[in-house]
Amino acid sequence: MGRTGLYIALAIGIVAGLVFGLFPELDLIISRPFYEYTIGGNHFGWRIYPPLMTARDAGLWVGTLIIIPALLALLFKIVFPRRRSLLSGRAVLFLAATMALGPGLLVNVLLKDHWHRPRPIDVVQFGGNEHFRPWWDPRGDCPNNCAFVSGDVSGAFWTIAPAVLVPAPWRAVAVGAALTLGTGMAVVRVMAGGHAASDVIFAGVFTFLVIWLVYALIYRWPATRLSEEASERRLERFSARGRRIAHWLGWRVATEIAGPDSDGGSDPKVKRRSGWW
């Protein structure tokens, strides 16, 4: 991933931020034609249009199916820490980190539940009872799982991550397909009234920036890039932590089932004697 993509993403983010920040009503203007399209008396009728619903589900499944091999390779490493990973260690780290940090932490944990921007379908201008907010204002009426930014679109654009790992002769085609998937998902979510245009634009920009940064850390920058041997060692350390966590969780579940008077007590290292003192 070169700097050209970074510059393009930053330019899109800056321009969109300024345009939708100075003219926030542009989000309403873009969404209004989709609000006026009705099916069975329902505004934003595209959200219940079966082909569009199928397209959204298919887009979600693409990202899920792509991340599964990396997760299986990670699970294999946890179970068999001394065996080499089923996939490239760097690829496993890259795919897992970008999914966890982009669609996971940034979008669904930090933004969607703390940036209280209402969805278009819920704002007063489109028959809802929540007050419209520009993209930069987090003080909306939405309590959680809010509009800024789109999780579906972030997940669709995440497919850029595996695309950049495709061999060079096919890489441009793979990246183009990922961009098409992300753009298509963005259009679908705006048509359904689930997100404003600025929500989906920033979902794509933020996700791309996370992917670019993690790729640079693992593959490009001399101070941080990892060899396959180094990535295997990282995965071994991660698998050791994973086994300790699994052991701890298993102990907690066992003690909860057994109750507080079981021999395990409150500390897994202390074996309580029972029945004679």
In angstroms, rounded to a whole number, what is the distance separating the alpha carbons of residues 76 and 73? 5
DSSP per residue, 140-200: -S--SS-SSS-HHHHHHHTTHHHHTTS-HHHHHHHHHHHHHHHHHHHHHHHHTTSS-HHHH
Is residue 223 over pLDDT 50? Answer: yes
For the chain, the first-to-last Cα distance in angstroms comes to 68
At residue 276, the pLDDT reads 29
Indicate the pLDDT class of residue 234, thresholds 50, 70 and 90.
confident
Q: If pLDDT is split at 50, 70 and 90, which confidence band does 269 have?
A: very low
Residue of 242, 246, 267 whose CA lies nearest to 81 = 242
**How far, in Å, CA of 214 to CA of 130, rounded?**
37
pLDDT at 90 over 80: yes
Q: How confident is the model at residue 264 (pLDDT cuts 50, 70, 90)?
A: very low
Question: Which of the residue ranges 4-8, 135-139, 182-186, 246-250 would you say has the lowest mean pLDDT?
Answer: 246-250
Residue 260: pLDDT over 60: no
Q: What is the DSSP letter of 246?
A: H
Phi/psi for 42 (5° steps) reads -95, 120
Write phi, then psi, for 4 (nearest 5 degrees). Answer: -60, -45
pLDDT mean over 252-265:
61
Which tokens is 149 given? 């930014």
- Three-state DSSP class for residue 84: coil
> Looking at this protein, which amino acid is placed at residue 159?
T
pTM confidence score:
0.84
Q: Which two tokens stand for residue 105?
A: 């932490």
Report percent pLDDT > 70 for the chain: 88
Q: Are 162 and 90 in contact (CB under 8 A)?
A: no
Contacts of residue 16, defined as CB under 8 A and 6 or more positions apart, other chains included, come to 198, 201, 202, 205
Contact 151, 108 (CB under 8 A): yes
Torsion of CA 220, 105, 23, 127, to 10 degrees: 150
Domain boundaries, the chain: 3-226, 227-277
User: Is the pLDDT assigned to residue 270 strictly greater than 70?
Assistant: no
Dump pLDDT digits (tens) for 38-89. Answer: 999 999 999 999 999 999 999 999 999 999 998 898 888 777 777 777 778 8
